[in-house]
């Protein structure tokens, strides 16, 4: 039941769900007072029980089953599951195997960044009705103009779906800018498809790759495939540099207040990404770390605990990843979500693009990241810590997109043509392993324990599990909750400002709960 | 005077019977020039889903996704793409589901938690409430993907939610409505969009076991370019080898789908072309039993009687 409206000046409770233009079933219970959110509770509304389904299965099923946790970033799960099995099996991965893992995962990141900015976030800033004033000759835009006009003239209910109706809010008023952004929205639809074609060249298909395995990739390292891959990545890279990054800057110039809005109030965690040689513990192209109190420290998986006081489980609380348990309790008292509350050393952390960029930057690790962060921060007049904001997350994605695209082109040149791409597989009687990587949405950890050649236990601690976390057992809010609390709202009923915060974190509820 | 709806239904039935070329000119013209109110509205709801089928639908190639959701159909609501959010979104969904906003088809992605309705909530209501409402007002439904058809991985052995597909859910409530099953984990975008285009231009496509015959009437194995290797008993010994992948666990013999001729991602490749055994994602039994793994690398799998040759 919706809470009845209270008098204008008092405290009001408003649900933001269903939150659209994200993955999955998210509701957010907000309390608004004096034009600001004073409390927020992230309520994820879908549960499937992947860890229960995995138990007792063949270990090699894991990279197939866990990809289905999320159809938006399946490859990250496929990679994490493969890493975990590599550790458990003690595999010696050939050079090509690791490179192909990197190529398919990296191309998937590029699509996901474009998707988040254009298809998921842009409609919070861009006024699509501007197209009615378009006077140019671009066929595609003229077609959209005619379509919108026909829709509005048709007398039908809900014309212009899915682009209308929308929430009231300040949108960009500059017609040219709106139309340029709309054109890029359409182009991004094409470019995300090309990035995923690059993914599929080695992955077998997208979504849900069949060619990723522990130890590498079953596709052969054929030169013509590498060339096709590079050609697609170049197109995507050019779009990122020529359009995506400038569009982020343009939005930032019109809405500069969003450098200050939506900061989460804890630390940051990144597992780093793209091992630069076959061994799993080798240096990564983007450096891992946990950022607490301004200092970056090495990551220790044993310091992660998951609380469930406010999540719908009656399994133990505060459990480490190795001892995790999932026992659903749909009607549990005081629980308001299906997402567990992971904490690092008891601390709340944000994961995702801003965490990835800041943690690498503060270690002075990746040259491409450092240069771009310095340049963009100087021109926007922001400090590096302000990447922890709505605009900072978007900028971080753009920067990572540019840096990763360059990396993929270099990495693909390192392939030894026609050399092996996979380690021979043999499933041990027993074993265990962690697999950690960065999904587009942040730090992704899989853990597998094998007994009698079957999965004895499996646990996934997923990016949106961190970001959409509920209160922990001590009552401390999760990253998104903390980013929302304090946000100023014009209209409590239709909180476009809050939704901008939410979409900058790019939540994926299918991942979050799984 | 017949209504537009009746006219279109009649035209669609005629088109199905004679093909669009055989129709009287005015009828064919009407079908070809459907205005904004003429193309089918799609209301897309998600249950226990990963959005993989939706993301796959975005990979449509020719036509690409925008004309598909504006000219060939109109996407009335989709949680991943709709501008509207929150209460306004619920009002829009309610307007369609209560029959007040015009005709629509339901496209449904994900499974239904039959034994645990709290496992899927939209706004303030259980998913199952929405589906029961839709059953009364929709023209028909497309069950998009393995989960929506059979429960998929959420319905696999050991699952805690009792996840099932849309048709089984409707049947359990005594509802008899048109549900076209389009399997796959994920679906191929063509399987859905070509079905929608046929619905618009030529009426209900021919169905085999409630799935469009065009895509699902033959097994992957029967159409596989490595079928010759199978006959000659040239079997891959390791993943990444050439040769028939049967002994590594390939489920192509049990999986009705046209992947070997259609290929994926704008025709770039498909699983077996990447030396990856078919995991049977378009089979009603996909991922169901713990005892049937996707791969069989450590056993010398026995070649079955070649049923394809005897028939």
Say if residue B78 is preceded by a cis peptide, omega within 30 of 0: no
Residue from B55, B92, B187, B251 to probe the interface with A (highest A Cβ count within 10 Å): B55
In DSSP terms, B182 is beta-bridged to B144
pTM: 0.94
Task: Give A203→chain B minimum CA distance, Å.
Answer: 8
Alpha helix ranges (H) inside A414-478: 463-467
CA distance B310 to chain A (A): 31
**CB contact A2 to B (< 8 Å):** yes
CA quadruple B301, B304, B308, B311: dihedral, nearest 10 = -170
Helices (H), A299-417: 353-362, 367-380, 390-413
Neighbours of A224 (CB within 10 A): 9
Asked if B69 and A162 count as a contact pair (C-beta separation under 8 A), the reply is yes
| Chain A: closest CA distance from residue B235 (Å) | 15
- Looking from the CA of A84 toward its CB, the CA atoms found within 13 Å total 33
In a mutational test of the B interface, the residue from A161, A201, A231, A507 whose CB has the highest number of chain B CBs within 10 Å is A161
pLDDT value, residue B202: 86
Structure tokens at A403: 């840096």
Q: Please judge whether B279 and A330 are an interchain contact, meaning their C-beta atoms are less than 8 angstroms apart.
A: no
Continuous segment of H or E residues that includes residue A28: strand A26-33
Query: ω before A165 within 30° of 0 (cis)?
Result: yes
The length of chain B, given as a count of residues:
311
Burial (Cβ within 10 Å: 0-12, 13-18, ≥19) of residue A145: buried
Contact in structure between A36 and A476 (CB atoms under 8 Å): no
CA–centroid distance for B29 within its chain: 29
Q: What is the DSSP code (8-state) at residue B47?
A: S
Contact yes or no for B86 and A19 at CB 8 A: yes
| DSSP symbol at B239 | T
Partner-chain residue, chosen from B35, B293, B298, that has the shortest CB–CB distance to A154:
B35
Radius of gyration of chain A (CA): 23
* Residues 427 through 456 of chain A touching chain B, CB cutoff 8 Å: 427
Query: What is the separation of C-alpha B32 from the centre of its chain, rounded to a whole number of angstroms?
Result: 25
CA distance B311 to chain A (A): 30
Record: contact A48-B119, CB cut-off 8 A: yes
Cβ contact A162–B75 (<8 Å) = yes
Residues 6+ apart with CB under 8 A from A20: B79, B80, B81, B82, B83, B84, B85, B89
CA distance A111 to chain B (A): 11
Low-confidence ranges of chain A (pLDDT < 50): 1-4, 6-7
Which of A188, A68, A262, A264 minimizes the C-alpha distance to B294? Answer: A68
Ranges of chain B whose pLDDT falls below 70: 1-37, 298-311
Is the Cβ of A414 closer than 8 Å to some Cβ of chain B?
no
Backbone CA torsion sign across A405, A411, A413, A415: negative
Return all residues near B67 (Cβ < 8 A) that are at least 6 apart. Answer: none
Is B282 within 8 Å of B257 (Cβ atoms)? yes
Do the chains contact at B86 and A216, CB–CB below 8 Å?
Answer: no
Residue written as token pair 């029959």: B99
The catalytic residue among B149, B185, B188, B194 is B185
Q: Which of A144, A56, A81 is nearest to A455 (CA)?
A: A56
ipTM of the complex: 0.96
Tokens of B119: 């496992």
Q: Is A151 on the interface with B (CB under 8 A)?
A: yes
Is B81's CB within 8 Å of A162's CB?
A: yes
Identify which of A332, A275, A340, A276 has the alpha carbon closest to the alpha carbon of residue A470.
A340
Contacts of B68 in chain A (CB under 8 A): none
Put simply, whether A152 touches B (Cβ < 8 Å) is no
Say what the pLDDT of residue B199 is: 85
Q: Please give the Cα distance from B131 to B140 (Å, whole number).
A: 12
pLDDT at position B23 is: 44
Q: A67 with A439: CB under 8 angstroms?
A: no
Residues on chain B touching A57 (C-beta within 8 angstroms): 290, 293
- The vertex-B87 CA angle with B85 and B88, nearest 5°, equals 65
Contact flag A422-B287 (C-beta cutoff 8 Å): no
Residue whose token pair is 């809050």: A498
In A56-174, which ranges are continuous DSSP H helix?
62-65, 74-89, 95-114, 139-153
3-state secondary structure A175-213: HHHHHHHHHHHHHHHHHHHHHHHHHHHHHCCCCCCCCEE
Cα(A501)–Cα(A264) distance, integer angstroms: 10
Does the beta-carbon distance from A161 to B77 stay under 8 Å?
yes
Cα Dmax for chain A? 72
| Closest-CA residue to B116 (of B100, B127, B106) | B127
What H or E segment, with its residue span, contains residue B202?
helix B189-202
Whole-angstrom CA distances from A105 to A280, A511, B12, B186, B302 are 15, 17, 45, 18, 35
The answer to whether A322 faces chain B, any CB pair under 8 Å, is no
Q: Is the Cβ pair A47, B287 closer than 8 Å?
A: no
Instruction: State pLDDT tens for residues B18-37.
Output: 444 444 444 444 444 445 55
**Helix (H, G, I), strand (E, B), or coil: what is residue A374?**
helix
Q: What whole-number distance in Å separates Cα of residue A449 and Cα of residue A356?
A: 28
Nearest residue, CB atoms, A158 vs list B46, B101, B290 = B101
* pLDDT tens-place string over residues A443-495: 999 999 999 999 999 999 999 999 999 999 999 999 999 999 999 999 999 99
Pairing between β-strand A442-451 and β-strand A430-439 as defined by DSSP bridges: antiparallel
Residue B304 structure tokens: 């079955």
Residues of chain B found within 8 Å of residue A108, distances taken between Cβ atoms? none
Q: Please list every residue in chain B whose beta carbon sits closer than 8 Å to the beta carbon of residue A203.
A: 274
- Among A183, A233, A244, which Cα is nearest to A395's? A244
Checking phi first, is residue B152 left (phi over 0); if not, alpha (psi -120 to 50) or beta? left
Q: Which residue has the tokens 């963009």?
A: A376
- Distance CA(A413)–CA(B162), nearest Å, equals 48
Task: Please tell me the distance from the alpha carbon of residue A468 to that of residue A233, in angstroms, as a whole number.
Answer: 32
SS3 A50: helix
Starting at the earlier edge strand, list the strands of the sheet with A454-461: A430-439, A442-451, A454-461
First vs last C-alpha separation in chain A: 26
Place of tokens 């793209």: A274
Contact A81, A434 (CB under 8 A): no
Q: What is the pLDDT of residue B301?
A: 60
Residue with tokens 């801003």: A354
- The whole-angstrom separation of Cα A397 and Cα A244 is 10
Element housing A12 (H / E): strand A12-15
Helix (H) or strand (E) holding B109: strand B105-109
Dihedral (CA of A141, A144, A148, A154) sign:
positive
Do A119 and A238 touch, CB atoms closer than 8 A? no
CA pair distance A56, B59, nearest whole angstrom: 34
A·B CB contacts under 8 A: 306
Q: Closest partner residue to A61 among B89, B275, B294, by Cβ?
A: B294
Return phi, psi of residue A313, to 5°: -135, 145
Q: Identify whether B244 is a catalytic site residue.
A: yes
Q: In Å, how far is B105's CA from the nearest CA of chain A? A: 14
The structure tokens listed for B166 are: 């849309």
In this prediction, residue B33 carries a pLDDT of: 44
Give the CA radius of gyration of chain B.
21
- Residue B149 is a catalytic residue: no
Q: From the CA of B88, how many Å to the nearest CA of chain A? A: 8
Q: Provide the 8-state DSSP code for A350.
A: E
Catalytic residue among B53, B120, B188, B194: B53
């Amino acid at each position: 039941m919706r809470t009845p409206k209270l008098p204008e000046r008092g405290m009001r409770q408003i649900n933001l769900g269903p939150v659209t233009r994200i993955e999955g079933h998210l509701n957010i219970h907000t309390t608004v007072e004096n034009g600001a959110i004073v409390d927020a509770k992230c309520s994820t509304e879908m549960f499937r029980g992947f860890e229960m389904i995995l138990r007792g299965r063949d270990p090699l099923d894991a990279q197939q089953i866990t990809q289905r946790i999320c159809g938006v970033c399946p490859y990250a799960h496929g990679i994490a599951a493969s890493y975990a099995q590599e550790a458990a099996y003690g595999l010696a991965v050939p050079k090509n195997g690791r490179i192909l893992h990197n190529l398919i995962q990296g191309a998937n990141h590029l699509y996901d960044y474009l998707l988040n900015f254009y298809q998921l976030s842009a409609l919070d800033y861009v006024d699509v009705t501007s197209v009615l004033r378009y006077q140019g000759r671009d066929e595609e835009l003229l077609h959209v103009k005619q379509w919108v006009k026909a829709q509005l003239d048709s007398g039908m209910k809900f014309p212009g779906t899915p682009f209308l109706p929308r929430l009231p809010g300040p949108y960009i008023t500059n017609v040219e800018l709106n139309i340029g952004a709309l054109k890029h929205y359409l182009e991004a639809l094409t470019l995300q498809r090309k990035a995923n074609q690059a993914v599929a060249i080695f992955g077998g298909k997208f979504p849900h790759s069949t060619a990723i395995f522990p130890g590498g990739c079953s596709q052969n390292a054929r030169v013509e495939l590498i060339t096709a891959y590079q050609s697609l990545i170049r197109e995507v890279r050019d779009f990122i540099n020529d359009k995506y990054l400038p569009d982020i800057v343009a939005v930032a110039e019109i809405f500069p207040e969003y450098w200050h809005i939506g900061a989460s109030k804890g630390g940051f965690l990144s597992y780093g990404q793209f091992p630069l040689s076959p061994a799993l513990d080798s240096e990564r192209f983007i450096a891992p770390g946990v950022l607490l109190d301004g200092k970056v420290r090495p990551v220790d998986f044993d310091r992660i605990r998951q609380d469930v006081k406010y999540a719908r489980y009656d399994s133990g609380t505060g459990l480490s990843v190795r001892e995790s348990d999932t026992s659903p309790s749909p009607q549990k008292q005081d629980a308001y979500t299906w997402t567990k509350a992971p904490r690092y050393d008891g601390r709340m952390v944000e994961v995702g693009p801003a965490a990835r960029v800041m943690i690498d930057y503060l270690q002075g690790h990746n040259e491409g990241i450092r240069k771009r962060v310095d340049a963009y921060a100087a021109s926007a007049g922001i400090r590096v810590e302000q990447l922890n904001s709505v605009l900072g997350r978007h900028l971080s994605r753009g920067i990572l997109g540019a840096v990763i695209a360059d990396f993929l082109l270099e990495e693909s040149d390192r392939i030894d043509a026609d050399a092996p791409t996979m380690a021979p597989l043999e499933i041990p009687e027993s074993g265990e392993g962690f697999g950690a990587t960065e999904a587009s949405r942040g730090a992704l950890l899989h853990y597998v324990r094998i007994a009698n050649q079957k999965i004895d236990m499996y646990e996934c601690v997923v990016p949106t599990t961190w970001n959409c976390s509920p209160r922990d057992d001590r009552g401390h809010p999760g990253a998104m909750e903390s980013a929302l609390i304090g946000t100023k709202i014009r209209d409590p009923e239709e909180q476009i400002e809050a939704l901008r915060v939410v979409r900058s974190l790019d939540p994926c509820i299918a991942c979050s709960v799984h | 005077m017949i209504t537009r709806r009746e006219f279109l239904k009649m035209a669609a039935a005629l088109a199905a019977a004679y093909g669009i070329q055989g129709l009287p000119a005015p009828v064919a013209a009407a079908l070809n020039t459907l205005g904004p109110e003429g193309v089918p509205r799609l209301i897309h709801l998600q249950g226990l889903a990963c959005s993989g089928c939706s993301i796959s639908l975005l990979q449509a190639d020719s036509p690409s996704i925008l004309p598909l959701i504006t000219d060939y159909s109109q996407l009335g609501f989709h949680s991943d793409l709709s501008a509207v959010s929150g209460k306004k979104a619920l009002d829009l969904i309610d307007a369609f589901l209560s029959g007040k906003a015009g005709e629509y088809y339901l496209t449904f992605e994900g499974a239904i938690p039959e034994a645990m309705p709290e496992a899927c909530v939209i706004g303030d209501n259980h998913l199952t409430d929405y589906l029961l409402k839709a059953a009364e007002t929709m023209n028909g439904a497309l069950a998009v993907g393995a989960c929506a058809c059979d429960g998929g991985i959420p319905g696999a052995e050991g699952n805690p939610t009792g996840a099932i597909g849309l048709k089984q859910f409707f049947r359990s409530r005594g509802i008899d409505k048109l549900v076209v099953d389009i399997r796959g984990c994920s679906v191929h975008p063509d399987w859905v969009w070509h079905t929608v285009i046929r619905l618009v231009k030529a009426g209900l496509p021919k169905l085999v076991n409630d799935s469009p015959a065009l895509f699902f009437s033959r097994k992957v194995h029967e159409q596989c370019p490595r079928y010759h290797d199978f006959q000659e008993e040239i079997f891959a010994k390791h993943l990444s080898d050439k040769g028939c992948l049967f002994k590594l666990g390939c489920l192509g013999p049990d999986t009705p789908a046209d992947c070997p001729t259609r290929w994926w991602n704008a025709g770039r490749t498909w699983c077996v072309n990447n030396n990856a055994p078919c995991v049977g994602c378009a089979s009603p039994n996909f991922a169901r039993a713990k005892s049937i793994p996707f791969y069989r690398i450590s056993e010398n799998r026995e070649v079955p009687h070649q049923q394809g040759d005897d028939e």
